[in-house]
Each structure stands twice: as structure tokens, then as C-alpha cells.
Amino acid sequence: MTHEPPHPGIGRRNFLLSTAGLVSTGFMGLARHARAGTATSHPAAESPLQSYGPPIPDPHGTIDLPEGFSYRVFSTWGQPMDDGLLVPAKHDGMACFPVDDDRCLLIRNHEINTAMPVRYGAFGWQNERLGRVDPRLIYDVGTPTGRPSAGGTTTILYDLRAQRPLQQWLSLAGTGYNCSGGATPWGSWLSCEEWTQRADAQHARDHGYVFEVPATTTPQLAEPRPIRAMGRFVHEAVACAPNGDVLYLTEDRGDGCLYRYLPNVPGKLHEGGRLQALVVDETPSLDTRNWTTDGTANVIPGIRLQSSWIDLQDVEAPNDDLRYRAFNAGAARFARGEGIWHAGDQVHFACTTGGQAQIGQIFTYRPSPHEGTEREAQAPATLELFIEPNDATLIEMADNLTVAPNGELFICEDGPDANGLTRVTPEGGIERFGMNRANTSEFAGPCFSPDGRTLFVNIQNPGATLAITGPWQHG
């Protein structure tokens, strides 16, 4: 296994933990971990696909990967960008867009708010570079006694053949705690604020919205317009249907909901639409978290639950109570919905603290063939708990996720100690793919290049992006 040396900005602290308890050696079907009366197994857990093998210790102390895989580190916190600003810290959600056969665009979130040091932002250690930006393109410039919100997005033009960035620039400014988001089929990134800060003595604008950032090779800042009809809550991620007529949204709260946005005009999200919440038909107000102490579970893996959607009102929720009103009206409750990905006829999403061990669940939603229309009831959608390992050696605190070209899930962990990348096959087989050895930070923003040969992922803190290449199993 070969590695590019890490950027000097990446720490190299070694964990004082045994990897034996953190890495599963080869595929371990969830059925092998089932206990009677618990929600730990998927009925078809064995995978016919070949294992990549266990992660091998990285001599540079950045990321352990299986034999044959290598990585490059780029776009680290504090690095000068081509617009005269600095790479912000706290790299989070990210998507990859095709440009041509040799190049792609990465649009990346930065999970920063005004409670964090000024130096985490793009404008310098004391905001000394703020004058380089048109204030009309900063969503929240702050009050006279405050300061600009430092969250937002950066865009990177990347050379896939040479495996290096060509340009990078700030592409959304003045938002806060931009956690994850999602790509649209018309070529833009939806950046989500995981922060419901209200306007006050320090902040000039309300927060808690979704913003759209065009995927363009022209270095520029996007117009910072909140998509108000998509609701104001602790947004995490978005998954957009291929035709753009339905968008699914997760909420990073321990008592959150799964939402759906039906735009009036696909591709023009600012022109309004309907925000809805998911209901399990036979069990209104179902608690899917499985936070039980008696060994039972409300939701069993592999069981498809017929589902529908209810309209929500007052979606800007000045009291940040949208999830409560939805639950009281019959919506299902989820434990910190985070990463979500639309994959053909399925939508996969992670619940970070779901499950009896409160270390993660992965759900699969199967849309109706008439999704978003009045004919949905003719062929209802279903919700299924795909996996709930309750085993930290397999998955601990599932967060951002992506779908590989062969249909496998790659899941980022956001646990308290060592964090890794986990691979899950369509059959439910689980294998540890990578481990962060730079520090205890989570991985975030996994996404594959258009040709499927590069997996991009972020080490969130203090902030770095990695390009992983190797013998990917294409499907």
C-alpha cells in the first residue's frame, strides 16, 4: 500500500487504542450478531462480493486503507485559495460533479458558526481578508456588535488524471454550521444549515435553511438566498430524485423526522413547494429509534413498512418546533437523521444514535412508482430498517454516506474516539474499509468521482480532503 505524505497541517497523533477492537477482519454478516428479540440483523446478511481486506497501518499516520489503495491529502484548513481567501476549517458534506473526462468539481461544506474562533473562517485570523468579498454576497454579515457568519461552501476544480486540485474558491458565504446537503440533477449543491440561530444582537439574519450553490468552473460566490419553503430546522442532508421532482431531507435531532419537499417547479426550488413528513401507515407517530431496555424493538430489520406523507404548515417554524408538530400529527420519529443518498429506486439514510446501543441505524426508503403524485396510494412507498448492528466494531455513530458505483454503501463514523469508513454491501455484509489515524475527527462528505475511480472524503477537524484510489470493485 502506497501513500502520499500528509500535508503539514494534518496532525499525526497516534491512537492509544488497539485496532483489533475497531476493525472487522473481512465480511461479518449481521445475522451472526443477532440476538433473540433484538433488532440487530438483516435476514440476508451474507455478501457474495469479495472483501477488500483489513485496513493496513499507514506509515504516515493519516488513514489506514486495505492493500492496494492509496490517498492524497489536499485543500487543508488555512491554505490560500485562488480568490485570495483561506480554506475554512471543519470540512463536512461534499458532492462531486463532472466537468469533462479529466476534471471534476467538488463542492464542500464547512461546519462553522459564530461560536467558533474567527480563524476557522475564510477571511483570515482577524477577518483581515473580509474586504475582498462583496458584502451583498454574504448572507449574514452580522450586526454592528457582531461578526459575519463564517460557514458556507468552497468549490474545488480537480484534475482526475493528475490527482491534484487546479483551483479552489469560496462559493457560499455568511451561512452557519453548514453540515451536509446534496447534489441536484441540474448541477448544483444544496448546502444545509444545521443551526437554527435566530437574529439577535450578534446575528442579522435567521438561520436554519437550505441554500443552493451552482456547480460552475467560474470562481464566484453564489447568491445567498435561503429556500424558505424547504423549512427551517436543524437540516442535515438532502437527496434529490433523478427527475428533480422530489427531495428528501434529514434532521439531525434525537427526535427528528424525515421530510420530503415537492417543488412546484422541478429545478426551481425558490418557486415554492410542499414540505411533508413521513408516516408509517399502520403505526402513526412510530418511534423508530429502538431505544428500549427490555430487549424488544419497535422496528425490525428487513420488514417493509407501508408509508405515506403528511403536509406541514408554518414550515419556517419560528419556535423550532416543526418536528414536534409533525410527530403529533402522525409522523415517524428518528434518532439524528444524517447522511442520505438517492440510489435508483431506493433512498438510504443514516440515523446516528439509533438502535438499542444508540450507535447507529441505516434505513432504506423505497419510493412509490407514483411518488409525489395523487396516485401514490395505488402503490405505496415502504420504509425498512436495513441494518442496526449495535456493534461498535462494525459501525459506530453512522453519519454521512454515499453509494459506490457497484451499489455498496460507504459510511462515515462520528464516534467519540477512533473513527473510520465502513463498507456495506446491498445484502447487508459489513466490512471496515478505512481508519482515521491523524486524530479522533470524524470522516465526512464521501463521494465518488464520475468515473468511479476516486473516493473523495474529508477529515473534518481541523479540515482536509482526501482522494482515495485503488482496485475498486465496479458494478
What is the mean predicted confidence (pLDDT) over 370-377? 96
Higher pLDDT, 380 or 27: 380
Whole-number Å distance between alpha carbons of 67 and 54: 8
CA angle 26, 31, 37 (to 5 degrees): 145
Determine the residue type at 6.
P
Cα 175 to chain center, whole Å?
A: 17
User: φ, ψ for residue 10 (rounded to 5)?
Assistant: -90, 130
Q: Please, which pLDDT band fits residue 427 given cuts at 50, 70 and 90?
A: confident
Whole-number Å distance between alpha carbons of 269 and 265: 7
What is the mean predicted confidence (pLDDT) over 408-415? 95
Whole-number Å distance between alpha carbons of 297 and 291: 8
Q: Please, which pLDDT band fits residue 23 given cuts at 50, 70 and 90?
A: very low
What pLDDT is stored for residue 294 in this prediction? 85
Helix (H, G, I), strand (E, B) or coil at 17: coil
The burial class, CB within 10 Å (0-12 / 13-18 / 19+), for 355 is buried
The overall pTM is greater than 0.95: no
Q: What is the pLDDT of residues 279-306, one digit of tens each?
A: 999 999 999 999 988 878 999 999 999 9
- Residue 279 β-bridge partners: 308
E runs forming strands in 264-407 = 273-280, 304-311, 337-343, 346-351, 361-366, 381-387, 398-403
What pLDDT is stored for residue 474 in this prediction? 54
DSSP states of 204-242 as a string? SS----EEEEE--SS--PPP--B-GGG--S-EEEEEE-T
Domain-wise residue ranges, the chain: 19-469
Average pLDDT, the chain: 90
Q: Please, which pLDDT band fits residue 37 given cuts at 50, 70 and 90?
A: very low
Determine the residue type at 430.
I
What pLDDT is stored for residue 463 in this prediction? 98
Q: CA separation (Å) from 437 to 19, 28, 443, 470?
A: 11, 23, 11, 19
What torsion do the CA atoms of 103, 94, 210, 229 make, to the nearest 10 degrees?
A: 70
Preceding peptide of 462 cis, ω within 30°: yes
Look at domain 19-469 and name its CATH class.
Answer: mainly beta
